[in-house]
């Protein structure tokens, strides 16, 4: 493994200054569960790592009446154990609980899961169905962007050089629905064994009024270059009564909407079918 | 880049001079000679390198040494009690055949400890989940799960 320097700044400003000093030859590191593996495999060879672990501003889960703000350094384990997340954002809890294994969940962060921009990032589908926005800050200033615009390709994000993901802001889906019982949120994942990366994953948020679906948000992972919303399938569900026939139709539409590949984990054909099935089950849940 | 870092290791204040690109496992094995912690895959897959940092299980093969500054690290050596007495989990592994070649054992036991500290009466499903980050090539896991389950009664009395 190539040698690298290691810095532990306590403020964003110091982190930016270090980044500027190394001018592209340094990397931010959060839990390191993606980045350190990539350094060991020599995929990336930075001269320095700039750790985000000591920056207070990036830590903590803050609940307000309107939603939750997840500091980017929130560990997967903390999301898994937060009782308010379990109650109001159950799909996010379900995703946190099946991400890798205890040792990884104890250090991996939600910000790292996003910034790594893997198509299989388990936190992405549940956050994509909830109108999540991301707070970014760089040496040039701050901006907020919708989570959907963040992913640009496998491993590619819209982050500018030196920019840091500060927080992930999620409006509480229940606070916007008159009857909180009429809303369901589910995350499902198919892998070979417990700690594996997803062969495919799916998340659904469904608001019903009587028998009719008023709102439907669907997302899937490991089935396209980036974690994606399934907007065409959503349209088929909204305004309709959810019947077995409709769900059959939706599963087929999902198969067409995604663009999976064959790799070491699975095949294109299996991914299409299993994603359709998981979306159907997630809507039914 | 080299720095002296101070931290707590198995209950004692220690310090070491270490290079910035080294991982915690290298510091434990090479500087402190604590070779109970094993190096398997080096990539977070096998859990042979599991130690506790502030009570939580972590893969020491991918945890930068610099990050343990001010923290408390517990390795398998730190589980021994007065007069080198085994910890109840260790004893249970011996009694129930949880050890074959032994390479996975320190990591398994550290994962089991982290789990039992948080949840002292796990179901078998919770035990499996608790050791899902640890691979064993020998036992087929059944004896390991038995060992952890059987350590529970003892554990509650003694810890
Ligand atoms: C054995 C194993 C199993 C795994 N299983 C899963 C799984 O089941 N599901 C899953 O989704 N992932 C899995 N992963 C991948 C990884 O653990 C997660 O993606 C994790 O959430 C990454 O977070 P981190 O804090 O460790 O990121 P890091 O490795 O620290 O960072 C990842 C990338 O993001 C950048 N970055 C991190 N934080 C920020 C920030 N705030 N602002 C700007 N850039 C930032 C870093 O520079 C780096 O390029 C697994 C990894 C391993 C080793
Ligand atoms: S050696 Fe650390 S997980 Fe395998
Ligand atoms: S006893 Fe040999 S690897 Fe588990």
Residue pLDDT, tens place only, B8-59:
999 999 999 999 999 999 999 999 999 999 999 999 999 999 999 999 999 9
Supply the pTM of this predicted model: 0.97
Q: Provide the pLDDT for residue A156.
A: 97
Q: Which residues in chain A are contacts of B74 at CB distance < 8 A?
A: none
Kindly give, in sequence order, each residue whose CB lies less than 8 Å from that of residue A155, ignoring residues fewer than 6 positions away: A116, A117, A118
- Name the residue facing B43 among A2, A37, A106 (closest C-beta): A37
A79 lines ligand 1 (CB under 6 A): no
**CB neighbours of residue B89 within 10 Å:** 23
Ligand 2 atom at shortest distance from the alpha carbon of B45: 3
pLDDT in tens, B94-126: 999 999 999 999 999 999 999 999 999 999 999
For the CA of A135, the nearest ligand: 1
Give residue for tokens 């198919």. Answer: A190
Q: Provide the pLDDT for residue B153.
A: 76
Tell me: pLDDT of B155 over 90: no
Q: pLDDT truncated to tens, each residue of chain A (285 aa)? A: 789 999 999 999 999 999 999 998 999 999 999 999 999 999 999 999 999 999 999 999 999 999 999 999 999 999 999 999 999 999 999 999 999 999 999 999 999 999 999 999 999 999 999 999 999 999 999 999 999 999 999 999 999 999 999 999 999 999 878 787 899 999 999 988 767 899 999 999 999 998 999 999 999 999 999 999 999 999 999 999 999 999 999 999 999 999 999 998 999 999 999 999 999 999 998
At residue B26, the 3 state secondary structure works out as helix
Domain boundary assignment for chain B: 2-76, 82-158
- For residue B133, CA distances in Å to A3, A29, A110, B85, B108 come to 28, 22, 19, 27, 9
Is there a common fold for B2-76 and B82-158? no
**Inter-chain CB proximity A5 and B20 less than 8 Å:** yes
- For residue A134, CA distances in Å to A218, A249, B29 come to 19, 33, 41
- In this structure, the residue with its CA closest to atom 4 of ligand 3 is B136
Q: Which fold has domain B82-158?
A: DNA polymerase; domain 1 (1.10.150)
- Name the residue facing B132 among A1, A49, A195 (closest C-beta): A195
Q: Which residues on adjacent β-strands are paired with residue A63?
A: A68
CATH number of B2-76: 3.10.20.30
Half-sphere exposure of residue B117: CA atoms within 13 angstroms, side-chain side: 12
What is this model's ipTM? 0.96
Helix or strand holding residue B110 (H, E): helix B105-118
Return the closest-CA partner of residue A33 out of B140, B73, B64. B64
For the CA of B134, the nearest ligand: 2
Ligand 1 atom at shortest distance from the alpha carbon of A109: 25
Which of A11, A25, A29, A196 has most ligand 1 atoms within 8 Å of CB, for mutation?
A29
Q: Which domains does chain A have, with CATH numbers?
A: 5-51 (3.30.43.10), 58-173 (3.30.465.10), 179-284 (3.30.390.50)
């Amino acid at each position: 493994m190539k040698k690298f320097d290691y810095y532990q700044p306590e403020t964003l400003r110091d982190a930016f200054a270090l980044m500027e000093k190394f001018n592209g030859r340094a990397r931010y590191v959060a839990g390191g569960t993606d980045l350190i593996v990539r350094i060991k495999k020599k995929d990336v060879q930075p001269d320095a790592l700039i750790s985000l672990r000591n920056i207070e501003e990036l830590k903590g889960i803050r609940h307000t009446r309107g939603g939750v703000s997840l500091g980017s350094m929130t560990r997967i384990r903390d999301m898994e154990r937060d009782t308010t997340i379990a109650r109001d954002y159950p799909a996010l809890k379900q995703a946190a609980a099946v991400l890798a294994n205890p040792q990884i969940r104890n250090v991996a962060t939600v910000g790292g899961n996003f910034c790594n921009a893997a198509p299989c990032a388990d936190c992405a589908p549940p956050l994509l169905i909830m109108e999540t926005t991301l707070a970014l800050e760089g040496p040039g200033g701050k901006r907020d962007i919708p989570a959907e615009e963040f992913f640009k390709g496998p491993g590619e994000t819209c982050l500018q050089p030196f920019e840091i993901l500060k927080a992930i802001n999620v409006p509480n889906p229940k606070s916007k629905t008159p009857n909180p019982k009429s809303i369901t949120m589910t995350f499902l994942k198919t892998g070979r064994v417990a700690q594996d990366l997803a062969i495919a994953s799916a998340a659904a948020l469904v608001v019903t009024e009587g028998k009719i679906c008023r709102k439907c948000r669907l997302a899937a992972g490991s089935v396209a270059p980036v974690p994606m919303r399934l907007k065409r399938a959503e349209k088929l569900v909204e305004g309709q009564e959810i019947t077995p026939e409709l769900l059959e139709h939706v599963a087929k539409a999902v198969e067409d909407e995604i663009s999976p590949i064959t790799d070491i984990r699975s095949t294109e054909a299996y991914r299409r079918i299993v994603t359709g099935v998981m979306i159907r089950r997630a809507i039914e849940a | 880049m080299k720095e002296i870092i101070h931290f707590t290791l198995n209950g004692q204040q220690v310090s070491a001079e270490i290079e910035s690109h080294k991982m915690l496992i290298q510091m434990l094995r090479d500087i402190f000679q604590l070779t109970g912690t094993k190096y398997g895959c080096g990539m977070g897959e096998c859990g042979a390198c599991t130690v506790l940092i502030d009570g939580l299980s972590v893969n020491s093969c991918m945890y930068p040494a610099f990050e343990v500054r001010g923290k408390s690290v517990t390795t398998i050596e730190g589980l021994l009690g007065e007069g080198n007495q085994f910890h109840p989990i260790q004893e249970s592994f011996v009694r129930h055949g949880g050890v074959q070649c032994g390479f996975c054992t320190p990591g398994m036991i550290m994962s089991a400890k982290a789990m039992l500290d948080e949840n002292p009466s796990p179901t078998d499903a919770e035990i499996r989940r608790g050791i899902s980050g640890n691979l064993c090539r020998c036992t087929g896991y059944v004896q390991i799960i038995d060992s952890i389950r059987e350590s529970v009664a003892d554990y509650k009395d003694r810890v």
